[in-house]
Chains A and B, each alone.
Chain A
């Protein structure tokens, strides 16, 4: 696997909540990415965001790893939750909080939002 692929895998495996999106939480570039972000925020999730736009290899490697074709993609505790529609649906039904608690523990909401660059490896 390429270096970018390795870093993507590392983010998925090591970050409690990983959101692969178009843009960043500060500058959202797509409505669906924004919906997923807001759903996660509403549930108090500590989002680690990765912008997939800087290089096409990011999206390509991500989809190969996850088997999921579209952006955004949300992972909790190393496992794919889904895209914007699923994340929003789970947030509205209250299941997202349950899932976060189940996979990350009751204190999951204490983490902070941050952005990771998978091209350079700089957080």
Chain B
């Protein structure tokens, strides 16, 4: 399932994530809300934080698995 694939890609990119969630917003398997809390985000601009998430999900973004993506990032401090 797409949710599991996205979650494992994010786990791989953020092994130290405290909170890591992928929600299928519509039940259709292509509109997602991802939430990642990681110490890596500390001191980074929102733009760079979201870039890291986009990079982790580059493949499903490219192959059309993700039709719509909402991102919420948090530092853990």
Contact = CB atoms under 8 A, between A and B. Distances in A.
B15 to A, nearest CB: 23
B50 A85 contact: yes
Contact of A85 (B61, B62, B70): B70
Nearest to A70: B69
B54 interface: yes
Given A85-B70, A85-B72, A69 B46 contact: no
A84 B68 CA distance: 11
Main secondary structure of the interface of A (DSSP, over half): mixed
A82 B29 CA distance: 24
Nearest to A80: B47
Interface string A106-119: 00000000000000
Interface residues of B, number: 13
Interface string A60-104: 000000011110000000001111111001100000000000000
Given A32-B68, A70-B69, A83 B62 contact: no
A93 to B, nearest CB: 10
Nearest to A83: B50
A69 B58 contact: yes
Interface in A6-35: 30-32
A89 B54 contact: no
A67 B30 CA distance: 22
B71 interface: yes
A40 to B, nearest CB: 16
B50 A32 contact: no
Interface of A: 30-32, 67-70, 80-86, 89-90
In the A-B complex, the 6 residue pairs with the smallest Cβ-Cβ separation, listed nearest first, are A69-B61, A86-B46, A82-B47, A85-B71, A69-B54, A85-B70
